[in-house]
Amino acid sequence: DSTFEFERKRNRPERYDRNLAENTLKAIKKIDKIRVAREERHHKLRMKGKKAKEQKEAAIELEQGIHLVKAPSVLAQDQSLTLPKIKVKVQAQAEENQAMEE
């Protein structure tokens, strides 16, 4: 019976086989490539509809907030729509450093 023969061989150590070790290492590399490809394919399938969904949401948001967007030609004609420019005085750093040292 083949089961008894397997049981007999079960606890015996295998002899080192260079070809078997080489084939095992090749198989490990191949399995790793397959695993990576499957992960990429899985991610790609999960993200499949995401871009279209984001574009749809962006279009809805733009429709709702279109009144916030003003055309540049309108801004050029009516200066009240733009913020006034403010001039800010900038002090030299040398003056600040001297004040801090004192």
Average of per-residue pLDDT across 82-99:
70
pTM: 0.43
pLDDT at 7 over 80: yes
pLDDT at 91 over 80: no
What is the rounded CA–CA span in Å between residue 67 and residue 81? 13
For residue range 57-74, what is the model confidence (pLDDT) as tens digits?
Answer: 999 988 887 767 767 777
Domain assignments of the chain as residue spans, ordered by start: 2-61
